[in-house]
Every structure is written in structure tokens, then in C-alpha cells.
Structure 1
Amino acid sequence: MWDKKRVAGSGLIHEYVLGLTSEEENEEMEMLLQKDLALQREVTALKQNLLHYAKTHTPLVPASAGAEIRRAKPKARYASLALLAIVASMLVFFYAVWTRQSSQLRSLRQELASCEENQDNSRAVAQLFSQIAPKGTLPVTLQGTQLAPGSRSVVFWNPTKKTAWLNPGGLPAPPPGHQYQVWADVDGEMIPLGLIQPDGGDLHQIQYVSQAASLNITIEPLGGSDHPTVSKLMASGII
């Protein structure tokens, strides 16, 4: 039993419209057409396009040729009409081939664009991995508080390179007009390390500070705060 996935992009629709499919293929196609209105519309549109193409590109016959054909002997008349039919059929066939090749070309272009996008993503991931993977990187887990139970964030803390990257993990989306802000506890004072941008992806580079005892995440108004809102502490972890 055929399905739409098998038919789409295989050229079977064009072959069916041109009458190039076998009797068994015709039965399968007709059963599928009875169930799929979108496919019916596609077949109808293709037939109309083929007829329009044939009418547009079939050589015009001069008005005088009609009289000549009528005056011609029956055998010659039939030969002329057969020649016109062959020309029209060839035009329809070449149009179908061109349509299929155009569709395949579009598909190849889409696949190429997808490959290029995946390649760009792979480069970006590799670049980020090179930042968090060096020796000396300490993964610091920030467990969710009662305001975000079950959530867990990770900071990749590197005292050697003095770099820090945050993966916010499963933190819930902040309320409208607010965003997350990261803090370091240094000798009892909360030092702001950076803001988490809503569309910043899975990794956010934050500031590194020495002598930090813990890392914390709070919800603050957009643009951040000078001091953390302790009542909105979402996650915390000891270094």
C-alpha cells in the first residue's frame, strides 16, 4: 500500500499524469488519491500546468494550413495531425522532466543549507567546548531553591584561566520584565557576575572573581540590580 511519503518527490505523480505508470501503479495511485485531497489538488494542478504548457509551446499552425490539410489525401492528413500530436506530447514530457529536476534542485539546495547550518552549529559547539573543557575547570552545581525545586544549573569555573561559563539548565522562564542575574559571595559581599539573556542559548559567559565562596542566581528587573533580591533566590552552589 502506497503512502504520501513514498509518492512525494519520487516522480510517480508526474509519471501518473503522463500515463507512464503501470496498471498496478495506477490502482495504487487512485486509491491514494481517494484518501488524500491535497494530493488530488496537486495532480489536478499538474495536469492543468501540462496542458497550459503544451498549448503555449505548441507551434502555431497558419490558418491556410487548415485548408491544405483538408485538401490533402487522408493518409497525408493523418500524418500531419500525428506529427502535431507527437510534438505536443514531447513538449509535455520535457516540461514534466524540467519540473521534476527543478523540484530535486530545490530539495538539494535545502539539504545544502541544512548541512551548512549544522556545520556552523558544530563549530559554535566546538568553540564553546574549548572554553569549558581545559584542565583546571571546576563544574559548580547550583541547586534550585524552593522557588525552583528540581532545577539545577552548572557553572564551569576555571581559576587558572580566570573564566566562567554558566549553563542555566532547567531554570523556569523569568516573569515578564525580569531576568536572571548571577552573583558571587566574596567575604560576605554579593558581587554581580552578569545577566542571563533570555535568548542567550545554553551557555553564558559570566565574570570570574577570585575568592568566591559560592555562586547564586536571583530574579531581578530587566537590566539587573546593584544588590541581589534575596527573596527571589532561585539557585545556589558552593565552590
Structure 2
Amino acid sequence: MDIKAYIQSGILENHLLGNNSQEENSILECISKNNAEVKSALNELENTLEILADSNSVEPPQHLKSEIFAKLNFATSAPIEETPILNSNIPTHQLNVKQISPDIVKGRSNVTTWLAAASVVLLMTFGWTMYSNQKMEQSLVAAETQNSLNKKEVEFLANQNTMLLNANKIQLNGVEKHPDMVAHIYWDGSENVYFESGNLPTPPEGKQYQVWAIVDGKPVDLGMYVADGKKVHSMKSVKNAQAFGITLEKEGGSKTPTMEQMMVMGEV
């Protein structure tokens, strides 16, 4: 027999991994007992597999180890009862079967144990990596969305500033009851209207400021002013306005201005 070819055939690796047939294991057991080179190669391969299992494993938390071994039943495995499958009356010289060495079985069990444990840990590591990647992807999407909103806000403010520079600034002065109040309307003469609240006080609870335009002598609703921290607010569009005014109305506004609650007013 070509011993080197036999060693290189993979029969030793398959034996340690439990992939050989019973006959192949019996033959290997017999050869390894009578051939030092085969026995040495088998021992070296067994040690190598154990070293690889140890070096590639990730040291898990103690409680994780306990859970893994509990699930794999390593700690509570009952001893395997040997059941004879051959008639003991048959002469042994007629049987071409050799009992596997306990050392080989123990070595294969250790390798299988560590490979299984390493597989569980690697699977958990892969799951954590997938979870982290998903979280990172969600964060990137959120950042891109926020950047898009910021870009739109910058574009809006740039367009607004351009319009304000080219618009007609109309000062709305306080009426007789409120002589010190001042507000401003920016209107480009065609349709776009922007309102600046000036020094108007914060309206009482349940009240809001409503912006009006006077077109052909009739009041036109331009919307409600909502204090949101912005200096200038875009209102409804209007054409051919002769004047603008602000009234204090109930929350939600009114169809017609309450003249007794007129705060400021100014002509174009």
C-alpha cells in the first residue's frame, strides 16, 4: 500500500469529522496500529483541528457558553449504551471489523464539540453584524432625508430673500387705539405677499392675528399669522391691493374683519 497516497486521500480527515463508513474506520484503525506514519499523521491532524477550533473561536460571555452547551446537550448527554449487533457465537476470525479506539472517538468528539460551538458563536456574530448594518443604513437614510430638507429650506430662504429685496416694503402703523405698534408687508405688486409681525404683542389665548388686503374697497383674507419663530411669513397671494391691515380675531379667523380689533394698517 502507498502510505503517502493513503494519508493524502482524505480518509483521515473524514474519519475525524465522522464522514467515513464503518468499514473505512475499521481499516484505518488497523493500519494506524501497525503503521507509525499513519498513526502520527492521524494524531497530528487531530491536534491541528483542535488548535484551529480554539484559535477561530470567539470567547463568549459565561452565560452564553452555558446556554450553548445546554442547547447542544453536552453537559447532560447520557452515556451511549453499547448494543452488540453481531452474534457472539460467530468466530472472530471471520469478522473483518475492528473496534474503534476510545482515544480516536474522544478526539473526534472534542473537535465536533468545538466546531459546533464555534458555529453557534459565528452565527450570533453574523446576526449582530446584520443588525448593525441595518441600523447604519437607517441612519444614513435619515441623514440623507434631513440633508434634502435642509437644502430645500436653504433654497426657499434664498428665493424669499431675493423676493424681499425686490418687493415693495409697506409699513403698517398702529391705529388710534395702538399708536406704538408697527408691522410690515412685503409685496411685489403682482401676487406674493409676506408679513413681518414687527412689535405686535403675543395674542391672548384663543386669539390670532389675521392679515387682510383691501382690493377695490373690499377686505380680502390673506390668512392667519402663526407665531413660529420665523421673522417673515408667507401669506396668501393677492393682486391689485390698495392697502393692508391686521386684526385680532378668534382662533381660526373670521370671514370679515372685526374693525374694533384693527391693530395696524397701511396703504400701498
User: TM class by shorter-chain length?
Assistant: 0.5 to 0.7
| Aligned counterpart in structure 1 of residue 117 of structure 2, from 88, 92, 95 | 88
> Secondary structure at the residue paired with 1:109?
helix
Deviation >6 Å, runs of 4+: 58-61, 169-172
> Secondary structure at the residue paired with 1:67?
coil
Instruction: For residue 164 of structure 1, report the CA deviation from its aligned partner.
Output: 1.2
Q: Indicate how the Cα distance of structure 1 residues 165 and 231 shifts in structure 2: closer, same or farther if over 3 A, else same.
A: closer
Report if aligned partners of 1:53, 1:92 keep a CA contact under 8 Å in 2: no
TM-score by length of 2: 0.48
> Secondary structure at the residue paired with 1:220?
strand
How much is the aligned-residue C-alpha RMSD, in angstroms?
4.9
Letter in 2 for 1:164: V
Report if aligned partners of 2:249, 2:261 keep a CA contact under 8 Å in 1: no
| Aligned counterpart in structure 1 of residue 207 of structure 2, from 165, 178, 184 | 178
| Aligned counterpart in structure 1 of residue 162 of structure 2, from 133, 144, 168 | 133
Partner of 2:42: none
CA distance in 2: counterparts of 1:205 and 1:152, whole angstroms:
18
Count matched residues: 187
Instruction: For residue 169 of structure 1, report the CA deviation from its aligned partner.
Output: 7.5
Letter in 2 for 1:193: D
> Secondary structure at the residue paired with 2:240?
coil
Give 1:15-164 correspondences, 5 Å limit: 19=59, 54=68, 66-67=79-80, 73-74=102-103, 76-120=105-149, 122-123=151-152, 126-127=155-156, 129-130=158-159, 133-134=162-163, 136-140=166-170, 155-159=185-189, 161-164=190-193
Letter in 1 for 2:234: H
Report if aligned partners of 1:141, 1:155 keep a CA contact under 8 Å in 2: yes
Is 1:194 aligned with 2:222? yes
CA distance in 2: counterparts of 1:47 and 1:196, whole angstroms:
64
| Aligned counterpart in structure 1 of residue 249 of structure 2, from 216, 220, 223 | 220
- Structure 2: 5+ residue stretches without partners: 1-57, 83-99
Instruction: For residue 191 of structure 1, report the CA deviation from its aligned partner.
Output: 2.4
Instruction: For residue 130 of structure 1, report the CA deviation from its aligned partner.
Output: 3.6
CA distance in 2: counterparts of 1:153 and 1:137, whole angstroms:
15
Q: Indicate how the Cα distance of structure 1 residues 53 and 65 shifts in structure 2: closer, same or farther if over 3 A, else same.
A: closer
Report if aligned partners of 2:208, 2:225 keep a CA contact under 8 Å in 1: yes
TM-score by length of 1: 0.52
Instruction: For residue 196 of structure 1, report the CA deviation from its aligned partner.
Output: 1.8
Q: Indicate how the Cα distance of structure 1 residues 155 and 132 shifts in structure 2: closer, same or farther if over 3 A, else same.
A: farther
CA distance in 2: counterparts of 1:163 and 1:126, whole angstroms:
17
Q: Flag the structure with larger Rg.
A: 2
Letter in 2 for 1:155: I
CA distance in 2: counterparts of 1:236 and 1:169, whole angstroms:
13
Is 1:166 aligned with 2:195? yes
Report if aligned partners of 2:247, 2:257 keep a CA contact under 8 Å in 1: no
Identical-pair percentage = 20
Which segment drifts farther, 83-92 or 177-186? 177-186
> Secondary structure at the residue paired with 1:179?
strand
Q: Indicate how the Cα distance of structure 1 residues 97 and 220 shifts in structure 2: closer, same or farther if over 3 A, else same.
A: same
